[in-house]
Structure 1
Amino acid sequence: MHRFAALIALAMRLGDLFVLFAAASIAYGYRFGHFELSLEYQQVVARGALLTLLVFGSSSVYRSWRGLSLSLEAFHVAALWCGVFALGVAYNLVFKVTGANSRLWWGVWFLAATTGSVAMRLALRGAAAWVRTRGLDLRTAVVVGSGSDASRIVHTFDHNRWAGIDVHGWFSTPVDQGQIKGSPHLGSIDALARYVADHRINQVWIALPMSAQDQINQILAALDQCTADIKLVPDLFGIQLLNQSVDQVAGLPVINLRASPLDGNARLLKAIEDRVLALLILIMIAPLLAAIAIAVKLSSPGPVLFRQKRHGLDGKIIKVWKFRTMHVHAEAAGQVTQATRDDARITPLGRILRRSSADELPQFFNVLRGSMSIVGPRPHAVAHNDHYREVVDNYMQRHRVKPGITGWAQVNGLRGETDTVAKMAARVEYDLYYLQNWSLVFDLRIVALTICKGFLGRNAY
């Protein structure tokens, strides 16, 4: 359920606008005895809506509040409403329209808007707390370390179930000297990566002194192939020395060392981009899809579509659709042989489809289903992932986003067979660059480059 955080943020944006309009009507009814605003008051409310979008949108009030203090958020919301109404009053002063509106209406409008906005968040928090205390919408976590900070993390989340973080236990390091009472000891840091992978842990909390840099580096290296978020809980002296800003979760200062580049509003924006573009493209290429399907069926015996298991977001298994380009054949269990130049398994029609990348057009249905994106790291066969994750640094970090039909690596010529570790490492390097620099404009640029030069390639066979 936590993946719908972006939708909740959007609902809160719309809710604040609704509160603004409702509060204006309530204030008007209180002042004038009826709720139908006159034209001049409608104009004031419209300006207030624009100011709300500007002021609230430029703040952090719509980010995830999991674990944040309600009183702090209420103060933040009240301060933002003060900013909105201060700008509205300033507008009236500059353009000398102060006499056109009732001061009582302004005051009631401000109080009602602030109260309604805080009440909306209180209700949302209550609903979330009710859900989380019943075991839903939880994020799993483990703690590394057993000092006072580590103990505080475990006990804080145990006593604040509304935060929605379920701590499985803790891992010890050579610098630890104690135990965390009431929490399972899961082993040493040598067992950390395996446990995180096997139990699909969402977060790893490192609670070590800043002087334990060697252990922190060892932990990061061990988790290279894991997609869990990694958070560091530093001591106060470390914070001062580093002069770093921190987030707070349930009152705990944390530094995000690794996190998904697509979260919150970015996740929602990319989802809308994918669905809209995929639907438009499928409508345009429907006749082409039908023609290719008929040609594949007539070219050789076997199904039209080929479904292959690949790793998707967070390393989960998905089934990627392609037009069949090979004669039907059997692979050894657990083995996937990459296509090579002059591969005898490929049909004559299949060579054309592969060269033009037309065999990948059914993946737009994967995009509509939500298992893929139009732009992202290309998905590799599961067997290839299992091999390269052991020999290419940060290989699994590319699975922090959904795999794509096209990607930054592909438009830069890194397509086709990856018969050497160096080729795969180069592809991963481009994928990681995409993750670090994602934007909607970057996505559209990659789509444009794919249309111009990405469909045809000498390495695609």
Structure 2
Amino acid sequence: MEPRTVSADFDVVPRQPRSPGWYQRLAAGVLIGDVLAIMASLALASTVRFGVIPTWREPIDAYFAIAAAAIGLVWLIALWAVRSRAKRLFGEGLTEYARVINGTLVAFGSVAVVCYVAQIDFARGYVAVALPVGIVLLLVGRLAWRRVLILLRRSGRCATGVMVVGAPDDVARTVVELRRNLAAGYRPVAVSLSSPLHKASPSDQAILDSLPRVSYESAVSTARISRIRAVMIAGELPGGRDQIRKLGWAMENSRAELILVSRLTDVAGPRIHLRPVAGLPMVHVQLPQYSGFAHSVKRLFDVVATLGGLLLITPVLAIIAILIRAGDDGPVLFRQQRIGVGGKTFTMLKFRSMVVDAEAQRELLESKRLGNDVLFKVKDDPRVTAVGRVLRRYSLDELPQLWNVLRGEMSLVGPRPPLPSEVEEYEGHETRRLISKPGITGLWQVSGRSDLSWDESIRLDLYYVENWSLTGDLLIIGRTLVQMFKHDGAY
């Protein structure tokens, strides 16, 4: 049987549906089940608390009716916020149930905080009934839908088309396991081999010949054009984990998920999600996304926190400006061209901490350059003024960058804003720093600053770019406040 290798127009791989209809239908069913469970728990709580079943004939007090509606709405929003109905979780079991419980606790915790702050007197007995009953009903509903999904998958339905990539023996083993474990929800639709097929056994060849074969070099482009929803890496690839990382980069912002079927324990870059399935220790790789809701929240946080911070430190800014001006009658601000997101140039602001002709004196200090092959940093730099040493010691010279944050050129937390001369030195993966807005502070700022080597600075910035989270930003801001008084690497 002749192998079917992908043609130039990608006609060999069957086109997958534009959207998985089964997922929308299942998600709608789960949502309806959640609504019914929440309504039932709130109705039971009303019965226990007020001694009457709320109906149109015997309605409860309007105050509690509005409160119950508000709790129900917050509850549904919380279940959505924790992604309890994510496609990857359907049929998985414990992880889905844990998110349902977390979402419920978040909802009732939020209600409790609002009632406490607003001094709203709300019946505790109502909550004491609705919370546990709601959790039980929600979990029962999710369990029922999970059983339905497993039955459908065993009949060959509700499965995600997947391309399996790797060495012939690893790919063949993975295809066999996926066909055997239909409950996993993945259906092989194509394979891509990283080494010649003649190295495989006759049995493996028969398995691989039953599927369209895509050239290794065009695996990602074929997955995009054919709308394949998952690319599964079986075993090791030529080039090891660096090749896996590059494959993840090539798939960024695509609608496909990347799954590793291997014993890898150290995958650099995107966060991983373990999903044990009989015979297949599967690892989902959450691909970085650089737009959408999460980054809208980041921008909102930047603006609100910056405006609040400026209101608090305006007197400090005025005092610093007066001291700098009084020192040598030079300009208060230092303006410098930096490279921002997408390689765009912007003017970064800082309080001037050096003498006016600092740039002209730079060549005289080349022999004293420390710690970094690309960045120009000198310890005990004689160009720094007396006021400037204090500003640098406590990182106060960077406060004007809050204006850059308001202008959308920077973020409170992010990679360090590079100079144009630094970007010219980039040779490859370093350019990934430019896909996220530079920050006033970041991992580089709280991990040694100028004492770091060039490679260490790049590594920290790339780690931040690929593992960003709002919680992580808050932790970095907290560490920055501590670092301001430790002065490590600040010169």
Q: Normalising by structure 1, what TM-score?
A: 0.48
In our comparison, the structure showing a higher alpha carbon Rg is: 2
Q: Normalising by structure 2, what TM-score?
A: 0.46
